[in-house]
Amino acid sequence: MTKTLGLIGAGRIGGALARLALAAGLDVVVSNSRGPQTLMDTVAQWGEGARAATAADAARQGDIVVATVPLGALRRLPADALAGKTVVDTMNYYPERDGSLAELDSRELTSSELVQRHLPGARVVKAFNNIDFRRLEILARPAGAADRSALPVAGNSAAAKEETIRLLDVLGYDAVDLGPLSESWRSEPNTAVYVQPYLPERPAGATGDADVMRWFLGCPGAPLPADRLAGLLRDAVRQSPADARERLG
């Protein structure tokens, strides 16, 4: 049972997961690339149960560890400290940010297979990568709620996937099992399940950058139940990873 969530990365997705975990009664150990001293104000705002650490300590202390850094920073993940751990990979490949990666552009590997190759001793599970940080936090619902949303998970270890699915349940989400990491492309950028299904229709008048950002930050989200998510995943069409772009929806 997960009692402590380790977070390697304290950005928007990491922050949303930390707040959900703390609200669910879990402890959170968080790290970033600049050192624990730069996170003191953040963990103070999060409140009791949160503490700052190095990436290696977050890896060792977490019962389950979430890697939520830019994919281009993959090599900074502490492979030795993550050995034997279930590592939840939230990372997406955006060439304009991460630089071009031939194995991904050629579709030889999915981004999560690349993460697994870098972390041979860990059990990598893809999750939390297809929803934006605002909807991740505000769409969470208790088990059994009529408007509960689902998120996809993929992994090569059945036990690690089950552990991750239990974490999703604690944080407020159902799960749809995608299968192995080789199928995780179905939840990657540019597919039908990426960001858009969790958002309501954008108002016709929201066209400028400022208007879109106001709408994005303020809109409540659109629940995505497991059966609808499963259909979108089943019918997904694989896109060129080289065309991926970060977008709001």
Note the pLDDT tens digit of each residue in 58-75: 999 999 999 999 999 999
Kindly tell me if the per-residue pLDDT of 228 is higher than 70. yes
Region of residue 171 (phi > 0: left; psi between -120 and 50: alpha; otherwise: beta)? alpha
Confidence of residue 247 (pLDDT cuts 50, 70, 90): low
The confidence score (pLDDT) of residue 145 equals 97
176 domain residue, yes or no = yes
Tokens of 57: 């300590």
77 domain residue, yes or no = yes
Confidence of residue 204 (pLDDT cuts 50, 70, 90): confident
| Entry field: residues in the chain | 249
Task: Please provide the DSSP assignment of 74-99 as one string.
Answer: GGGS-HHHHTTSEEEE-----HHHH-
The confidence score (pLDDT) of residue 154 equals 98
94 domain residue, yes or no = yes
Nearest to 187 by CA among 216, 245, 229: 229
95 domain residue, yes or no = yes
Confidence of residue 116 (pLDDT cuts 50, 70, 90): very high
Note the pLDDT tens digit of each residue in 4-15: 999 999 999 999
The SS3 assignment for 198 reads: helix
Confidence of residue 207 (pLDDT cuts 50, 70, 90): confident
248 domain residue, yes or no = no
Give the chain's domain count: 1
- Environment class of residue 92 by beta-carbon count within 10 Å: exposed (0-12), middle (13-18) or buried (19+)? buried
The confidence score (pLDDT) of residue 124 equals 98
Note the pLDDT tens digit of each residue in 28-51: 999 999 999 999 999 999 999 999
Identify whether the C-beta of residue 221 lies closer than 8 Å to the C-beta of residue 141.
no
Kindly tell me if the per-residue pLDDT of 249 is higher than 80. no
The confidence score (pLDDT) of residue 150 equals 98
CATH number at residue 39: 3.40.50.720
Mean pLDDT value of segment 194-211: 88
- Environment class of residue 177 by beta-carbon count within 10 Å: exposed (0-12), middle (13-18) or buried (19+)? middle
Please state, in angstroms and rounded to a whole number, the distance separating the CA atoms of residues 65 and 123: 10
Instruction: Report the share of the chain in percent with pLDDT over 90.
Output: 83
Note the pLDDT tens digit of each residue in 123-153: 999 999 999 999 999 999 999 999 999 999 9
Q: For residue 160, which phi and psi values (nearest 5 degrees)?
A: -65, -35
Please state, in angstroms and rounded to a whole number, the distance separating the CA atoms of residues 45 and 39: 10
115 domain residue, yes or no = yes
Domain range for residue 111? 4-243
104 domain residue, yes or no = yes
Please state, in angstroms and rounded to a whole number, the distance separating the CA atoms of residues 221 and 200: 6
249 domain residue, yes or no = no
